[in-house]
Amino acid sequence: MSDLFPLQVSDAQVRRRGKVLVGPVDLTLQAGGVTIVIGPNGSGKTSLLKMLHGILRLNRGVVKWACTTDEAQKRQAFVFQTPVMLRRTVLENLVYPLRLLKVPKTEAHQRAGDWAGRVGLGDALRRQATVLSGGERQKLAMARALIRDPDVLFLDEPCASLDGRAMREIETILQNAAASGTRIIMSTHDMGQARRLADEVLFILHGKVHEFGPAAGFFDTAETPQARAFLNGDIVE
C-alpha cells in the first residue's frame, strides 16, 4: 500500500481571472483502487485532476499527501486527453522518462521494449510518434506514464475520441495497472466505462464535489437528484 495516502484536500479552490474553476473542495482519498470522476461538460473535472496533481496553483486551501509534496510529485504521472508526443520515435518517447531518472541506457531500452509490447506497440518502436493514430498515441502516452512505476496515475478522459477497440485496449492497460498497485484517478464522460472501471465515483458539478462514494452505491442509488438526472442522461445545469 502506497505511503502517499491518504490524500487530504481541505477547502481547496482554484480561481483564474476572478472565475472559480474548482472548489472549495473537501475530500479524502485512500490508497488503492480506481476513482472515476464524472460530471457535465464544464463542471470542473479537468481542473480537479490538475489541482490534485499540483499543475494548478491553489488560491486557498490545502492539498496534502501523506508524504512531502516533492516526494509525491516524483511518484505520480498525468495522461492528458490529447497527449503530447515528443518528435521522436516510439522507443525514444518511452526511454526519455527513464533517462531523466538516470536509468542505465541498456535497462531503459529493455523496459521500453517491454512496455511497447504490453500496449500493442511492439512492432512500432522505430516509427515516429507524431504519425501514430489517436489510439496508438494514447497507448504510448499510457506506457510512457506507467513505465516509471508511478504510485498514482491521473488521466483526463483518455478515451474521449477513441473507437471501441482502442477503448477496450486502454481499459485493459488501466485494469492491469490498478491490479499491480497503481492508484488510478480518472475522468470520463462515458458512463459504461465508469461502470466497468470504478471502485468509487466522484460526481462534480459547478466545480464542487457533489457526491462521492463506492461505485455500486452511486450507480444503483445516487443520493442527489442532480446525480440521478445525470445518470439518466438528462441535462444538468
Q: List pLDDT tens digits, range 96-146.
A: 999 999 999 999 999 999 999 988 899 999 999 999 998 899 999 999 999
CB 153 within 8 A of CB 185: yes
Crossing angle of helices 134-146 and 105-118, in 10° steps, is: 130
Query: In angstroms, rounded to a whole number, what is the distance separating the alpha carbons of residues 231 and 16?
Result: 30
- Mean pLDDT computed over 195-208: 96
Domains in the chain, CATH or no CATH each? 7-85+132-231 (3.40.50.300)
- Sign of the Cα pseudo-torsion (98, 52, 192, 157, in order): negative
List, in order, residues 6 or more apart from 35 with CB less than 8 Å away: 29, 184, 185, 186, 198, 199, 200, 201, 202
Q: Taking the mean position of all CA atoms in its chain, how far away is CA 144?
A: 13
Strand, helix or coil at 194? helix
User: What Cα–Cα distance (Å) separates residue 184 from each residue in 30, 33, 129?
Assistant: 11, 6, 25
Amino acid of residue 56: L
Condensed to tens digits (0 to 9), the pLDDT of residues 24-79 reads: 999 999 999 999 999 999 999 999 999 999 999 999 999 999 999 899 999 999 99
CA torsion angle for 207, 210, 215, 220 (degrees, to 10)? -130
CB 39 within 8 A of CB 235: no
DSSP per-residue string spanning 22-61: EEEEEEEE-SSSEEEEE-STTSSHHHHHHHHHTSSPPSEE
pTM, rounded to two decimals = 0.94
Which grid cell sits at 63?
492539498
CB 201 within 8 A of CB 187: no
At residue 167, does pLDDT exceed 70?
yes
User: What Cα–Cα distance (Å) separates residue 10 from each residue in 20, 71, 147, 164?
Assistant: 16, 20, 31, 38
Query: In angstroms, rounded to a whole number, what is the distance separating the alpha carbons of residues 122 and 69?
Result: 35
